[in-house]
Every structure is written in C-alpha cells, then in structure tokens.
Amino acid sequence: MENLGRGSDPSPEVGGEIPPDGRPPGPLPYEGVWRFTAPAVDASVPQARHAVRDLLIRQGVPVSDELVQGLLLIVSELVTNAVRHAALLSPVLAVEVAVGAEWVRVSVEDNHPYRPTALEADHGQTGGRGLLLVREVTRESGGVCDVEHTSSGGKVIWAALPLTPSVV
C-alpha cells in the first residue's frame, strides 16, 4: 500500500503524482496514511470505530456527517468479519486509513487466506450481511471496494469513498 494518501485514485497502485488540476505537489494538511493493529476480539470493533472517527476529526478531514457514519459502519463490519471469521488463523488484525485530496480509504487486513464473498440476504438470518452492507454503503457514496490477497497469504478488504459524495 504505497499510495501515501495522495491523488484521487483510491487504488493502492497509483500515488504520489501531481494531479492535472494543478494543485500544489505537497499533500494537503489532512492527507496521509495511518495504520494500527488490534487483537481479533470483539472489543476491537468499537475501538477501531472510535479510532477512525477520532483520526478524521484530529486531522481535520473535510467529511460530512453522513460520510463519517458510512465509514464507521464499514469499519465496524470489516473488523467484525475479521474477528468472527479470521481470528483462529489471525489473532491480530490491522486497520488502515488513507486520506487523499478527494477520497478516504479504510481497510482491514488479516492473515486468514479465505477470500470472503457477500452472501445474498436471507430474511430468516440475523447475520451474514456485513459485506452486502459494505458494498451498498460504498456504492451509494460513489466509492469502490475490493478484496485483495497480501504477500503474506492473508487478505485486505478495503473501501474508498469520495470526500464529496456523488449523486446516485
């Protein structure tokens, strides 16, 4: 993940380039990448959510309340999935927040090799819709999300949302 939080492209392959809009080559005050680890336990879900919220406030990221709520829901769902489904093989998870000039990207990484898929909604079940929620919140915000394998054999699930929400 070498993006370093610059540019408008949320994918990790692109970064550090001067955008054609002519803004200065240096990062804006709120741009950057922050990463923290947490144990794969239930208590890490609210801790990750609060850490991301506090980071956005502390850095002065220009996000609407609606976008913050979407990001926090995404973080909650992704950390919950890592705790519930990967903890046996991955006792530690990592949360990363990357903020660019026009987008914010949150990701959760674990060392479990299983690549999750979004299940179809089953009205009789009370769980199992986390990735559907992530995908829908991301889509409604005009963002993108994906799952990628890591070089260590695990996976990282990420969602990038524009700082200025698009109209869908």
pLDDT at position 166? 52
Closest CA to 72 of 167, 157, 159, 149: 159
pLDDT digits (tens, 9 = 90+) for 13-39: 444 555 566 665 678 889 999 999 999
Contact 83, 41 (CB under 8 A): yes
Asked whether residue 2 carries a pLDDT value surpassing 70, the answer given is no
Flag whether pLDDT at 56 surpasses 90: yes
Angstrom distance (rounded) from CA 47 to CA 51: 6
Q: Tell me what pLDDT residue 15 has.
A: 46
Could you tell me the pTM of the whole model? 0.79
**Residue 96 contacts by C-beta under 8 Å, 6 or more apart in sequence?**
1, 33, 34, 35, 105, 106, 107, 108, 109, 156, 158
What is the rounded CA–CA span in Å between residue 108 and residue 79? Answer: 7
Which pLDDT band, with edges at 50, 70 and 90, does 164 fall under? confident
